[in-house]
Chains A and B, each alone.
Chain A
């Protein structure tokens, strides 16, 4: 069977097809439940209330309740209600969510002064960005030092190992007490959630560095700071970059907790607010948005990684080279977007950016 062979890679077409299906499958499942009327649909949406005293047009009730009420109306000789089978309000159909994903950007917040969806999203992205930046600013260098020097490893890692078992959210109340109710405690929660893991993960990655590379550099005269800068950093850079992509995903997870600390803000506030209004398609749209932002950032980072670390099986893309030269000028003698043939990565020495 060509589709299932152990440890063999599938052909490009088959892989592309499966990637497509992996997204289509949940969508098809969701559509089936939403659009095939006799599947599930445990509710009745009332299209005309007849003479019912307490049910109104547009309301969704359980089918049992609907039937009982109609029976009662029929027994009393009153006008019966009419209705169509429907899903609960918390499961909107795909098209409703996709429409909502568009209209929720366009629709005004219900209460004047509340943020729009794009403002909420921007707020969330800002909090994640600062939290992750702050964590990386300290976490990456410290992680590398722990991986290179046993001194730092033994000085910091045992405590971090202990600290990372304390879930970041439990520091919420403390963070508010110390930092107030604005964005600072939220950034602090993301920092606490990310930093300790980051140091440990990057220290571990750094320890994977083959000692023979360092030894070879030493026999070529490199030592101390030069050794760190010219050998250790470039050698671990691709793996550290990959770690950072994974850690960024964790930072997003902590965001949702962080946003309910102090005053609720950002995308979490938007979701909670829409749930209160029972506009569930907006809830789904907002959740979808987080997924798209997450996957999008990761894909962009992966692309940057492939272009930065060409020696690691990547390939220099013309657009990337163009951007590099736009900011740095063409400083590579053997390859230049402006000077030689286009995109021939064989002649590309742009490794130290």
Chain B
């Protein structure tokens, strides 16, 4: 039960409402149309995703959240082209997505920097593959942008977890992708580093023309970063609700305690929580002597 009365998360201030109206007038960058995914296993098939549809607009920050096993990672892998959908389709700028490509940059949860390349060479990788001249100065710009100018000649093993993910972001952005797909990129980081990475990401997003699809299981992170949040149900993964976050942009850490923020968070929590009701009633067996008077 909430002790402080919270506003309805659907109430938007005029500025926020206006922002969403303008957002939806922008062109659609990435579109999922009734995407479904079935994994064949020995005893029958597993339906990981069913009927997932959404649109991401230009320069939008869209998060995907849901209980574990809702197929968020499968969804982003389909968007990246690393896996193919068994139903529906994904469109990037109206073009069908079938294979992975540099126009959809991706940052993974695990560290995927190439350990045999220095930070600079890692960021240059995509540019060199594409055969673009001027790879080096361009790469250096992106490294500078994520604040790692001093570390251009370090190997990934010499960097901390947060730094590695910043290089991974720079590496993806150096290709000038249309959309940046992020699969729980800060999942392995500690709380402080994670908070710092969130504000780095916000800054980058504000300064680059990029649409971000961000997968997370952290409610705070989703509400803090996103324009809109796609909440998925589990078994099979379906769209529960597309939430427009009523917290004004640009965001700052103080907003974590604003009423709109808390209301949105509470609502998503109730959405995800309602799917787990029967798991709460665990049979409690008391194995030790407990003095109930203490309560």
Contact = CB atoms under 8 A, between A and B. Distances in A.
Q: Which of A210, A226, A351 has the most CB of B within 10 A?
A: A351
Contact of B155 (A213, A222, A223, A310): A310
B57 to A, nearest CB: 22
A219 B125 contact: no
Nearest to B77: A215
B215 to A, nearest CB: 14
Given A221-B101, A221-B175, A351 B112 contact: no
A218 interface: yes
B126 A220 contact: yes
A235 B114 contact: yes
Interface stretch (B11-19, B102-110, B138-146, B204-212): B102-110
Q: Which of A213, A234, A312, A346 has the most CB of B within 10 A?
A: A213
Interface in B106-157: 106, 108, 110, 112, 114-118, 120-121, 125-126, 129-130, 153-157
A221 B153 contact: no
Interface string B222-257: 000000000000000000000000000000000000
B172 interface: yes
Q: Which of B115, B126, B172, B175 has the most CB of A within 10 A?
A: B115
Contacts of A351: 116-118, 121
A234 B112 contact: no
B142 to A, nearest CB: 13
A344 B175 CA distance: 31
Q: Which of A217, A230, A231, A311 has the most CB of B within 10 A?
A: A311
Contacts of A349: 118, 120-121, 153
A309 interface: yes
Contacts of A234: 114, 116-117
Q: How large is the interface on A (under 10, 10 to 19, 20 to 34, 35 or more residues)?
A: 20 to 34
A163 interface: no
Contacts of A215: 82, 100, 106, 108, 112
B114 A213 contact: yes
B108 A216 contact: yes
B153 A219 contact: no
Contacts of A338: none
A221 B126 contact: yes
Per DSSP, chain A at the interface is: helix
A346 B153 contact: yes
A230 B100 contact: no
A219 B129 contact: no
Contact of B129 (A210, A213, A221, A310): A221
B116 A309 contact: yes
A89 B126 CA distance: 70
Contact of B108 (A212, A311, A313, A334): A212
Contacts of A212: 108, 110, 112
A90 interface: no
A266 to B, nearest CB: 39
Nearest to A227: B129
B99 to A, nearest CB: 8
A220 B175 contact: yes
Q: Which of B80, B117, B156 has the most CB of A within 10 A?
A: B117
A342 interface: no
Interface string B176-205: 000001000000000000000000000000
Q: Which of B81, B82, B110 has the most CB of A within 10 A?
A: B82
The 3 closest A-B pairs by CB, nearest first: A221-B102, A216-B112, A220-B126
Interface of A: 210, 212-213, 215-223, 226, 230-231, 234-235, 237, 309-313, 334, 346-349, 351
Given A218-B82, A220-B172, A234-B116, 15 more contacts: A215-B82, A219-B80, A219-B82, A219-B102, A219-B105, A219-B106, A220-B126, A220-B129, A221-B126, A234-B117, A311-B156, A312-B115, A334-B153, A346-B153, A351-B116
